[in-house]
C-alpha cells in the first residue's frame, strides 16, 4: 500500500460532505433517479481528508469508491434518508459541502407491491422533498461554514445567487452544464464560486480532482482568512 501524508491545516475540523444522486422509490422495483455520478463529492471528501479534516461522506447510490479508509462513509438512498443523516451530523460539523444531486420530488405514495402495467399512460403523483441545504442554513451557527452547489443551464449566475441567499449558504459552487464536457458523467468540471460577500471566482475547465482542490482551498481561505 502506498504511503500518503495528510496536511494538518484542517486538523480537528469536522466536515460533512453529501454526494451522488438520491433514488426515490415508486414500488419495490422502480425508482426516480438522476445522472449524478458522485465523482465531484467523493473528490471533495478526499481532498478535505488530505488537508487533515475528519470527514463524513453521506452519499446516495454510486459506483464510486473511497481511496482513504479514514473517511466515514454513510450510504443513503432517498432524499429523506439523506436529510435524516445530515441532521444527525450537522450539530457536530464545522464545514458542510452539499454536492449531492438531491431529488426535488418524490412519489406521494410508495406501492408495497410491484405496480402492474395496465393503461396506456400512468400519471405519477409527486410531492416536493425537503431541501437539506435550506434546512441546515436555517440552523447554521456563526462558526459553521456551508458550501452549496447550483446546477444550472440558463440564467446561471442569477439563479445561483438566489440559492446563495435563500439557503443562507456561505458560498455556492456554480456548475455550468453549458460546457459540453463538464458535469454529469464527465471527469471534468467548470465552476464559478460565488461567496456571500459578493466575491466571484471563475475557474477553467479542469479534472474533478483539481476542481475539488480549488473548492477546498477556497473554503480554507475563507475559514482562516
Report, in angstroms and rounded to the nearest whole number, the Rg of the chain calculated over CA atoms. Answer: 18
* Residue 13, all three cell numbers: 475540523
Please indicate if the annotation marks 163 as binding a ligand.
yes
34 is annotated as an active-site residue? yes
Burial annotation 49-61 (CB, 10 A radius, 16+ → b, else e): bbbebbbbbbbbe
Closest distance to ligand CTP from the beta carbon of 159 (Å):
6
Please indicate if the annotation marks 42 as binding a ligand.
no
Residue 102 sits in the site that holds ligand CTP (CB under 6 A): yes
Residue closest to ligand CTP when measured from CB atoms: 132
Please indicate if the annotation marks 187 as binding a ligand.
no
Closest distance to Ca ion from the beta carbon of 107 (Å):
16
Q: Identify residues 144-203 at the interface with ligand CTP (CB under 6 A).
A: 148-151, 163
| C-alpha distances in Å from residue 205, one per residue of 42, 138, 161, 213 | 18, 33, 21, 13
Binding site for Ca ion (CB under 5 A): 104
Q: Which is nearer to Ca ion, 131 or 214 (CB)?
A: 131
Closest distance to Ca ion from the beta carbon of 36 (Å):
11
**Where does this chain touch ligand CTP (CB under 6 A) — which range of 43-51, 56-64, 129-137, 177-185?**
129-137
Of 7, 34, 178, 189, the catalytic one is 34
- Give me the active site residues, please: 34
Binding residues: 104, 114, 149, 163, 167
Amino acid at each position: 500500500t502506498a504511503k500518503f501524508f495528510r496536511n494538518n491545516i484542517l486538523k480537528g475540523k469536522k466536515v460533512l460532505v453529501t454526494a451522488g444522486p438520491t433514488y426515490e422509490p415508486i414500488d419495490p422495483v422502480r425508482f426516480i433517479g438522476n445522472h449524478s455520478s458522485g465523482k465531484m463529492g467523493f473528490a471533495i471528501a478526499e481532498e478535505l481528508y488530505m488537508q487533515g479534516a475528519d470527514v463524513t461522506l453521506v452519499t446516495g447510490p454510486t459506483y464510486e469508491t473511497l481511496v482513504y479508509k479514514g473517511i466515514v462513509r454513510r450510504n443513503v438512498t432517498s432524499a429523506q434518508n439523506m436529510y435524516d443523516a445530515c441532521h444527525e451530523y450537522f450539530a457536530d460539523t464545522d464545514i458542510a459541502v452539499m454536492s449531492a444531486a438531491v431529488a426535488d420530488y418524490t412519489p406521494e405514495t410508495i406501492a408495497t407491491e410491484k405496480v402492474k402495467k395496465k393503461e396506456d399512460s400512468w400519471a405519477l403523483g409527486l410531492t416536493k422533498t425537503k431541501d437539506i441545504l435550506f434546512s441546515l442554513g436555517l440552523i447554521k451557527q456563526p462558526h459553521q461554514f456551508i458550501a452549496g452547489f447550483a446546477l444550472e443551464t440558463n440564467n446561471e449566475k442569477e439563479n445561483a445567487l438566489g440559492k446563495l441567499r435563500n439557503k443562507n449558504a456561505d458560498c455556492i459552487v456554480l456548475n455550468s452544464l453549458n460546457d459540453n464536457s463538464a458535469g454529469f458523467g464527465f471527469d471534468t468540471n467548470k465552476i464559478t464560486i460565488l461567496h456571500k460577500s459578493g466575491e466571484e471566482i471563475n475557474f477553467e475547465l479542469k479534472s474533478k480532482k483539481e476542481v475539488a482542490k480549488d473548492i477546498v482551498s477556497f473554503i480554507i481561505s475563507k475559514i482562516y482568512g
